[in-house]
Amino acid sequence: MRKFSHLDWEQVIEVNLTSVFLLDQLAGQVMLEKRKGKIINIASLQSFIGGWRIPAYAAAKGGVARMTMTLANEWAARGVNVNAIAPGYMDTDMDQA
């Protein structure tokens, strides 16, 4: 594994996991009060298979998948449906390295 700095780790976790948590909490609060709503989070194939040289991204997307399951379990009985989609590999300029 290439050297992955703590700062890189923090930034990737903040963007890909913490932001989803905060948005789910804000949206969920409104939906739970109304006793209805749907949340769709964006996970990744990396949520389930890990990855190579992307430890923070794989960890963050794994966290999104598990958090989605947890919120789905907690909020379903209160009328809020929580799911995630998990797209696979996308060939983009970011993958050139």
User: By the 8 A CB rule, do 41 and 83 touch?
Assistant: yes
Buried b (16+ CB within 10 A) or exposed e, 17-43: beebeeebeeebeebeeeeebebebeb
Please tell me the distance from the alpha carbon of residue 94 to that of residue 64, in angstroms, as a whole number: 22
Retrieve residue 36's tokens.
Answer: 């209805």
Which amino acids are annotated catalytic?
Answer: 57
